[in-house]
Amino acid sequence: MTQTLSLGWTQAEARSRRSSYRRLLAVNLVLTALVALLAIVSPATLAHLLGLPAATPSAWPRAWGGMVLLAVLLYLPGWFEPVRARWANVVGIAGRGGMALLYLLVALCGDVRGFLWLALYDGGFAAALAVGYFRLFRAELMSRP
């Protein structure tokens, strides 16, 4: 019998994949929360960093930051229990992909190049989290006899 067929090895692989996914998700949630807080506290600074025009009135970026912060908080059950809280993870990954597409369309059609950074950020994390979650779920299924 090979090691990959032993129950102990597959359970250890599932634990390892869970840990890797949670670590990647934690990095994403912390960075996203920091961007959201920056949008709330100083929207002009965020606009300058991303190369976006200053928003008038400044309430729009603050409202966007509040909504993003709320999304981060709603994602926390998916971080605590990624296998049991599948809905939060799947919707979060799909939402990131959708937002990346929206940011890309705004950047290209609206000629606001600063949104490319947001598209790359959300698109990159959506792809990485999707791969990580697929690997976690495959390892989790393989660990159960």
Q: Is residue 43 part of a domain?
A: yes
Q: Is residue 30 part of a domain?
A: yes
Give me Rg for the CA atoms of the chain: 18
pTM for the structure as a whole:
0.87
Alpha-carbon distance of 99 to 34, in angstroms, equals 18
Q: Is residue 79 part of a domain?
A: yes
Q: Is residue 93 part of a domain?
A: yes
Burial 17-51 (b: 16+ CB within 10 A, else e): bbeebbebbeebbeebbebbbebbebbeebbeebe
pLDDT of the residue at 4: 57
Domain count, the chain: 1
Q: Is residue 1 part of a domain?
A: no
Alpha-carbon distance of 61 to 55, in angstroms, equals 7
Q: Sort residue 144 into left (φ over 0), alpha (ψ -120 to 50) or beta.
A: beta
Q: Flag residues of the chain having pLDDT under 50.
A: none
Tens-place pLDDT, residues 14-51: 888 999 999 999 999 999 999 999 999 999 999 889 88
Residue 114 DSSP code: T
Q: Is residue 21 part of a domain?
A: yes
Domain, as residue range, for 118: 7-142
Residue with tokens 């992909």: 97
Q: Is residue 35 part of a domain?
A: yes
Q: Is residue 81 part of a domain?
A: yes
pLDDT of the residue at 5: 61
